[in-house]
Amino acid sequence: MTETLKRGYPGMASVKDMPIVQDMPPVGGFPSIRIQRRLPSTGPTGLAIFAVGAAVMAYGYYNVYHLIQNRKAGLRELEMLRAPIIPVLQAEEDIRWVAHSKAALEEEARIMKDVPGWELGKSNS
Put simply, whether the predicted model's pTM sits higher than 0.95 gets the answer no
pLDDT, position 7:
57
Residue 125 has pLDDT above 50, yes or no: no
Q: Is the pLDDT of residue 17 over 90?
A: no
3-class SS string, the chain? CCCCCCCCCCCCCCHHHCCCCCCCCCCCCCCCCCCCCCCCCCCCCHHHHHHHHHHHHHHHHHHHHHHHHHHHHHHHHHHHHHHHHHHHHHHHHHHHHHHHHHHHHHHHHHHCCCCCCCCCCHHHC
Mean pLDDT over 21-41 rounds to 84
Residue 121: pLDDT band by 50, 70, 90 thresholds?
Answer: confident
Tens of pLDDT, residue by residue over 33-84, are 888 888 787 889 999 999 999 999 999 999 999 999 999 999 999 999 999 9
pLDDT tops 90 at residue 118:
no
